Amino acid sequence: MTTRLTVPTDRPYDVVIGNGVHEQLRGLVGFGMGVMRVAIIHAPSMAAQAARLREPLVSDHLEVHLIEVPDSEQAKTADVLTFCWKILGEAGFTRSDVIVGLGGGATTDLAGFVAASWLRGVRFVNVPTTVLGMVDAAVGGKTGINTAEGKNLVGAFHEPVGVLCDLDVLQGLPARELRSGMAEVVKCGFIADPSILDLVEAAPAAIADPTSSIVAELITKGIAVKARTVAGDLREGGSGADGSIGREALNYGHTFGHAIERFEHYRVRHGEAISVGMVFVAELAHRTGMIDRDLLDRHRSILQLVGLPTAYVRPGVWEALATTMRLDKKTRGDQLRFVVLESLAQPVIMAGPDESLLHDAYRAVSA
Ligand SMILES: NC(=O)c1ccc[n+]([C@@H]2O[C@H](COP(=O)([O-])OP(=O)(O)OC[C@H]3O[C@@H](n4cnc5c(N)ncnc54)[C@H](O)[C@@H]3O)[C@@H](O)[C@H]2O)c1
Ligand SMILES: O=C(O)C(=O)C[C@@H](O)[C@H](O)[C@H](O)COP(=O)(O)O
Ligand SMILES: [Zn+2]
């Protein structure tokens, strides 16, 4: 079964989810729009997949460049960005040509930023190959790279013209990557769609199988949350059309999570870090009386059920994490801002919490 969800922004585009949907790439590249060249940006682990995507495009007389970049976060650097620009320049890439981001979220974040920056913006298609990429990174147009100071500090909002989630590629996804992706799925459950939490809790064994129909259903539900959240507040202005906090809600667990990722030099997976980050903000919300004990406990229990960490035990690092958190994009002036829940599926912003509250929440997730 193939599902098609539209991201209803000013320039709407489709996210296609199903088996074998890679074949739709030819249509998305957009013949008739003057396209002559396509660059497929991929990690080494996706080389065979990139070669498969290339074939039909070459048969259609397109000039296809395979740009292999380092794996994972090592691709999200200024050096790799420069490397991609050089290849596009040498290949004579014009504004009618197209970039394809093939891989996990790190690769599609980079590819999207290459597309956003080349000639001030060319069209791009995302072909995510991890659960995390499908559910989150490939949709919504947040693109970017890291700097030494922190995660995603340089980037642009630049939306893809289409997203192809081919569930076939998940067959070879390592178990750790599947669990990491589930963190973003669970996040969608807490901030917007509690039926996701019910599904996960009802079938913990099935969600460990990337080919299961339940994983497909969870991916679809997660993408639906992401699509409607970004549609109301594409540039993260801080409020959605419905009076909600808008796109910032998707940053649930990310302020603390990104600080862990940076501190660990990205040896911790993104989903693992934000799993701990979600428990951290649930502690903040509980300690200020916003959520009850049950909802706090549900964070730990569901994340543990998925096999994700709920604590980050590394003594003496609070100051370093706090310094990194100050560079979070939600910070205004010197005021830290966290996404917290005031109840299930009701995210709000907690601005400028006391240092002692932050420290108490930290103690609760670091023991
Ligand atoms: N732009 C956004 O809105 C957004 C949203 C969420 C996360 N992100 C970013 O996404 C990144 C995390 O993405 P990720 O978890 O996909 O990690 P990733 O891109 O690092 O990929 C994880 C690993 O899985 C491998 N891999 C990818 N697809 C595979 C497959 N089908 N089979 C086997 N191995 C495969 C990769 O080679 C890599 O080693 C982070 O940089 C995060 O900041 C961005
Ligand atoms: O799409 C969004 O908006 C998100 O915040 C989704 C997050 O899951 C994602 O990790 C994103 O890259 C974080 O963005 P950042 O602005 O905090 O760097
Ligand atoms: Zn994320």
**Ligand 1 atom at shortest distance from the alpha carbon of 152:** 43
Residue 323 labeled ligand binder: no
Task: Answer whether 0.90 is exceeded by the pTM.
Answer: yes
Residue 180 has pLDDT above 80, yes or no: yes
Rounded to an integer, the average pLDDT of 203-222 is 95
- Statement: residue 181 has pLDDT above 80: yes
Distance (Å) from CA 310 to ligand 3 centroid: 16
Return the pLDDT at 32: 67
Percentage of the chain surpassing pLDDT 90?
Answer: 96
Rounded mean pLDDT, 282-311: 98
**359 included as an active-site residue:** no
Q: Which one, of 340, 334, 341, 339, lies nearest residue 355 by Cα?
A: 334
The ranges assigned to domains in the chain are 3-172, 175-365
The residue-averaged pLDDT of 85-94 equals 98
Structure ipTM = 0.99
pLDDT in tens, 126-146: 999 999 999 999 999 999 999
In this prediction, residue 274 has a pLDDT band, given cuts at 50, 70 and 90, of: very high
The question of whether 236 is a catalytic residue gets the answer yes
CB of 71 within 6 A of ligand 1: the answer is: yes
Residue 363 bears catalytic tag: no
Average pLDDT of every residue of the chain: 97
151 annotated as ligand-binding:
yes
The pLDDT of residue 31 is 67
Q: What CATH number labels 3-172?
A: 3.40.50.1970
- Cα(187) to ligand 2 centroid in Å equals 12
Over range 96-120, report the average pLDDT: 98
Query: Which ligand 1 atom sits nearest the alpha carbon of residue 45?
Result: 37
**Has 129 been labeled as part of a binding site?**
yes
On the question of pLDDT at 158 being above 90, the answer is: yes
- The reply to whether 142 belongs to the active site is yes
Catalytic residue among 37, 76, 254, 337: 254
CATH code of the domain made up of 175-365:
1.20.1090.10
142 annotated as a binding-site residue = yes
Model confidence at 240: pLDDT above 90: no
Cα(197) to ligand 3 centroid in Å equals 17
- Closest to 206 in 3D by CA, of 245, 178, 180: 178
Residue with CA at minimum distance from ligand 1 atom 19: 104
